[in-house]
Amino acid sequence: MRKAVFPGSFDPITLGHVDIINRAIPLFDEIVIAIGINADKKYMFSLEERLQFIKNTFQSEPKITVTTYSGLTVDYCKTIDSNFILRGLRNPADFEFEKAIAITNRKLSGIETVFLLTSAETSFISSSIVRDILRNNGDASILLPKEVTQ
């Protein structure tokens, strides 16, 4: 069984995340969207809100499960018997950063990272940009799944 973990804070999930996940569905038998818990990080949306946004976005997709975890992603992958980590790449800076993590994860655990390039339509979207728009009372609806903006 090909099971991939798509880790992130998803604060909030964006159309960029949704694009990567939708394009990965045919590649894997199961995709676990795993919200990482970092006690030192300040989130705009609560863990429950983020879980609900994602569950609502993918409610009709049987290959998707949504969960939370803390600690190392590779340790979480081992606990759920996943051999793949799924990551999206927007630009060359993402690649350099993600490459170092992927190599380290493979050395630590043997778990492979699968990268998908974002589509041209969503490559500019980031959760931090969305949060900045929302903090300043802007309309970020064109960057978010409708389940986040309802």
3-state secondary structure 4-70: EEEEECCCCCCHHHHHHHHHHHHHCCEEEEEEECCCCCCCCCCHHHHHHHHHHHCCCCCCEEEEEEC
Give per-residue pLDDT as tens, 47-79.
999 999 999 999 999 999 999 999 999 999 999
Is there a catalytic annotation at residue 55? no
Is there a catalytic annotation at residue 70? no
Give per-residue pLDDT as tens, 102-119.
999 999 999 999 999 999
Stronger pLDDT, 104 or 149, i.e. the higher one: 104
Catalytic pick among 78, 90, 106, 131: 90
Is there a catalytic annotation at residue 50? no
**CATH of the domain spanning 3-149:** 3.40.50.620
Domain boundaries, the chain: 3-149
Is there a catalytic annotation at residue 127? yes
Indicate whether this model's pTM tops 0.85: yes
Q: What is the mean pLDDT of residues 116-142?
A: 94
Chain centroid offset of residue 107 CA:
22
Q: How does residue 25 score in pLDDT terms, banded at 50, 70 and 90?
A: very high
